[in-house]
Structure 1
Amino acid sequence: MTLTADSPSPAADHQSEELQVKTSSSAILRFVLLLVFSEVIVSQSIVKTLPGFPGDLPFKLETGYVAVGERDEVQLFYYFVESERNPTDDPLMLWLAGGPGCSALRAFFYEIGPFTFNYENSGGNQPTMELNPYSWTKIANIIFIDQPVGTGFSYANTSEAYLSSDTISATQTYEFLRKWLVDHPKFLNNPLYICGISYIGMVVPIIVEEIYNGNEAGNEPQMNIKGYMLGNPLTDKNRDVNSRIQYAHRVTLLSDELYKSTKANCHGEYVDVDPNNGLCTSDLQDVEKCIEKINLPQILEPLCDTSHVNLSLLRWDRSSLEENSMDPLWSLPLLPEPGCRDFIYNYATMWANDRAVQKALHIREGTITEWLHCNHSIEYSFGRSATNAYTFNVPNTVGYHRNLTNKNCRALIFSGDLDMRVPHLATEKWIKSLNLTVESGWKPWFVNNQVAGYTVSYTHNDDYSLTYATVKGAGHTSPEHKPSECLAMVDRWFAHYPLW
């Protein structure tokens, strides 16, 4: 047989056949992996009505559990709301609440979700809801997840599985997302963003890096990750707290003399203080006197007077409840106390502990004894290294942010400028430490012809971009304080438009 220049050799035919077999085997392997993933416990239910809202829901709400962990012993609960605009093309957001241990319902009702409470009609023991005109579900598909385990309606099958940490939480959330996407393949092509507020700044960058690394390693399913978004994120557990002294001075809570003395005597370190440094401890005592009555999450809002109301946990004897009734020890007043933001969170507590609500949400009976707005047994307390159930094992995530600057990634970091819990000064400092290129310098951005805040944008290696924005007049949870401005901000950013 004569071979022409264009004719494949027998060896080439054999190599081609081997390549086809390998390709086919690889495809079969990926398919088998997807089948294995789909066999795990992923339960989901469509919720068409909810107690407290009249009629059918005007959007698609799904709730469910995804099993994660070495033996699928952790059951993470989620709420998924399809975009009200274009679910096929709009971004897919995974939203994680802070704490850790604060339920996804916090964001669902008070920050970016489709509902808010109608306080004028929520007296007695039946909170009523109304639509949130500034819900981010108008522009994005959002998964609200109760994480880590022990948060909201999430639970574990063993006591050992309730033990978690920053890194365990990140790993389990990544596993959750992989399994959820296998179960919802129509959203695999949607631009994916991992998002959250406050303490979740210690977890989100780890998750995002795991997603990029997993894609590069060939993990299935391949995720269409585009970036991440963080609001007032805790990033460095030491420096973020240290910045409170500087912030308090900036907003005139501390005098020039006290600030300069404290800075000099404490050498700029206000967290890990040498107990033998008497001048420093004395100055810090004076600082404490100046700020102890300041509401750290929003310095212009008053501290709640809780002396006349039990604002801790709503407790009642469940054995006395009938199937669709509740009889708490106290009922909600017709209107919340003016200026007391902590009080309004109890509307969610009363609503979520109603058996009729739990039945509508398809909560598994007997998995939790009481729904908590925030599980204080795992919540981070500045200066405390660990709790019995949760280990805060990541001191800072600046290194993860730096690693992501080498990926094809977008980041939006925003800070309410009235937050003293995680001051914007600290956030701006670690962003500058990334040594990015300034693409557009500091300038105001506007909503309804009013200054909504200030913004600066950065780039790195053509593939990475970071937009930083302050939200004027907002506290620790910016969408809660400035909903219309934050909706405009994220809508512009998703569309790759400048904020201004």
Structure 2
Amino acid sequence: MGLTKSWALSLVLLGFVLFDTGFSTPLKANETWGYVDVREGAHMFWWLYYSDSPSASFSQLPLVMWLQGGPGGSSCGFGNFEEIGPLDRDLNLRKTSWVQYSSVLFVDNPVGTGFSYVDTETAYATDVATVASDMLVLLKNFFNERKEFQKVPFYIFSESYGGKMAAAISLELNKAVVKGSLKCNFAGVALGDSWISPLDSVMTWGPYLYTMSLLDDNGLGEVSAAAEDVKQAVNQGQYLKATALWSVTESVVEKNTNGVNFYNILTQEPEDSVTGVGYLSLLARRHIGPLHRQSLSELMNGKIRKKLGIIPKNVTWGGQSEEVFGSMSGDFMKPVVDVVDQLLDAGVNVTVYNGQLDLIVDTMGQEQWVKRLKWAGLPSFNKLRWMPLDDPVSPGGTGAFYKIYKNFSFYWILKAGHMIPSDQGEMALEMLKMITQQD
């Protein structure tokens, strides 16, 4: 489709340039973007912001790659304009942008997500192994083309299903770095509200909601029974069935909580009426839909598309997201706890961080799989008492707790749901600085 070369039509925009696409806010950060053909018929879109720190050059600051969840959520869209990019959805400067302290690489991953696209249905990824393989192709291109980043500390930050993908990607990346087939200074991976052990999340939904007074005894019984069905399917290795039963369990939760928001239990969003669709379409709309709200979709397919100038005419931002989710459905409920163990054993710095108000990946479930790690340092980690972090918005109050032992750390972020940078931007920024050793 005219994009057969890696980094084809990549553009660089210098700072303080105003665009004729309606942008009223000039960016301080330099930008560049493009496509990489990761496989035949599979084209992955990326967008890089160089850091805009007034006190240090980009070469003195880390590089962060941000991976969105779903699968099918767009990093270049949601992560960029709703969470950590230099501009918000209204194209105003974001005070808590991560670009202040790092260069940020957004990647629409897996292929078919956001502005990434495939030429045929057979080109969609069906498991995290393929996702990791595709990303390694992109990263090799990135660090070969931009050698100035080869010595800069490189971190992978993630959210939701992006964490599951980040774990798999990090393992393959570390192997490639050790082998010498990829040159970069891989410094660690951060797993935010991540789908590392799906069953641990589902099995703790009932107890979590019950302790938060969002379920009564009858509701707890119904949610727990539905979760047990998911557990049975997972234990039998029937992962596609488990995904379907996961959808059923979500419906049971919604019925008994009067529609609790899975992404933040203190906010309530009425579910759009959806009839005549299969459970995969329902799941995609439930969990990809919030990442593709109309206002963001209009921005990405309007001003942003015009600004980028390289998006093929037949590609719509988010147009293949449901297909991405559906293609990964057989892999969706598989755990990757063993991958985290391998990362820790290999000496990779691993961070887990979670929002207090998140339901879909509740902190109780995260703590359960962490406690089952086989990592040799776990007993010493468990003996540590967590330490409080001051709330940057309300000095004197507590914004988070954390524990660190050797190459593993855990951050409990208070007053935040699934999308921590959106809910607690200042606290997320402080966490970023700690993880990347800027504090």
The TM-score range, normalised by the shorter chain, is 0.7 to 0.9
Determine which of 250, 253, 278 is the counterpart of 2:211: 250
Contact kept? 2:125, 2:324, Cα under 8 Å: no
Q: Distance in 2 between matches of 1:137 and 1:392?
A: 33
Contact kept? 1:202, 1:394, Cα under 8 Å: no
Determine which of 80, 86, 95 is the counterpart of 1:108: 80
Judged with a 3 Å threshold, the aligned counterparts in structure 2 of structure 1 residues 291 and 90 are, in CA distance, closer, same or farther, namely same
More divergent stretch after superposition (247-256 vs 233-242): 247-256
Within 5 Å, give how 1:175-194 maps onto structure 2: 175-194=137-156
Corresponding residue number in structure 2 for 1:42 = 7
Judged with a 3 Å threshold, the aligned counterparts in structure 2 of structure 1 residues 388 and 96 are, in CA distance, closer, same or farther, namely closer
More divergent stretch after superposition (244-253 vs 179-188): 244-253
| C-alpha RMSD over aligned residues | 2.9
Contact kept? 1:110, 1:116, Cα under 8 Å: yes
More divergent stretch after superposition (439-448 vs 414-423): 439-448
Contact kept? 2:253, 2:259, Cα under 8 Å: no
Judged with a 3 Å threshold, the aligned counterparts in structure 2 of structure 1 residues 285 and 236 are, in CA distance, closer, same or farther, namely closer
Judged with a 3 Å threshold, the aligned counterparts in structure 2 of structure 1 residues 456 and 389 are, in CA distance, closer, same or farther, namely closer
Q: Distance in 1 between matches of 2:348 and 2:80?
A: 26
SS of 1:206 mapped into structure 2: helix
Stretches of structure 1 lacking an aligned partner (at least 5 in a row): 1-38, 119-128, 275-282, 308-340, 380-386, 460-464
Paired letter, 2:113: T
Deviation per residue, 1:145-204 (Å, 9 max, x gap) = 011111111123444323543221111012111111101110000001112100112211
Within 5 Å, give how 1:356-435 maps onto structure 2: 357-368=304-315, 370-372=316-318, 375-379=321-325, 387-388=326-327, 391-392=330-331, 395-434=334-373
Q: Distance in 1 between matches of 2:25 and 2:222?
A: 59
Q: Distance in 2 between matches of 1:156 and 1:262?
A: 41
How far is the alpha carbon of 1:52 from its aligned partner? 3.8
Identity of paired residues, percent? 24
Contact kept? 1:473, 1:482, Cα under 8 Å: yes
How far is the alpha carbon of 1:286 from its aligned partner? 7.9
How far is the alpha carbon of 1:432 from its aligned partner? 1.8
Deviation per residue, 1:234-261 (Å, 9 max, x gap) = 11122221111121122122246764x5
Deviation per residue, 1:196-224 (Å, 9 max, x gap) = 100112211111110111122231x3221
Corresponding residue number in structure 1 for 2:432 = 490
Corresponding residue number in structure 1 for 2:60 = 89
Q: Distance in 2 between matches of 1:286 and 1:352?
A: 34
Q: Distance in 1 between matches of 2:208 and 2:79?
A: 27
Aligned residues: 389
Judged with a 3 Å threshold, the aligned counterparts in structure 2 of structure 1 residues 55 and 200 are, in CA distance, closer, same or farther, namely closer
How far is the alpha carbon of 1:362 from its aligned partner? 2.2
Paired letter, 2:322: H
SS of 2:92 mapped into structure 1: strand
How far is the alpha carbon of 1:406 from its aligned partner? 1.5
Corresponding residue number in structure 1 for 2:422 = 480
SS of 1:116 mapped into structure 2: coil
Determine which of 402, 416, 437 is the counterpart of 1:455: 402
Deviation per residue, 1:109-158 (Å, 9 max, x gap) = 1111111134xxxxxxxxxx100010001101111001111111112344
Please, what TM-score do these two structures have when normalized by structure 2? 0.81
Paired letter, 2:334: P
Paired letter, 2:345: N
Contact kept? 1:136, 1:487, Cα under 8 Å: yes
Deviation per residue, 1:303-349 (Å, 9 max, x gap) = 14768xxxxxxxxxxxxxxxxxxxxxxxxxxxxxxxxx959932221
Give the number of the structure whose residues are more often helix, by fraction. Answer: 2
Corresponding residue number in structure 1 for 2:281 = none
Contact kept? 1:81, 1:141, Cα under 8 Å: yes
Deviation per residue, 1:399-456 (Å, 9 max, x gap) = 0000111223212211111011110111111112225122742232112322112222
Stretches of structure 2 lacking an aligned partner (at least 5 in a row): 234-248, 274-288
Q: Distance in 2 between matches of 1:401 and 1:364?
A: 36
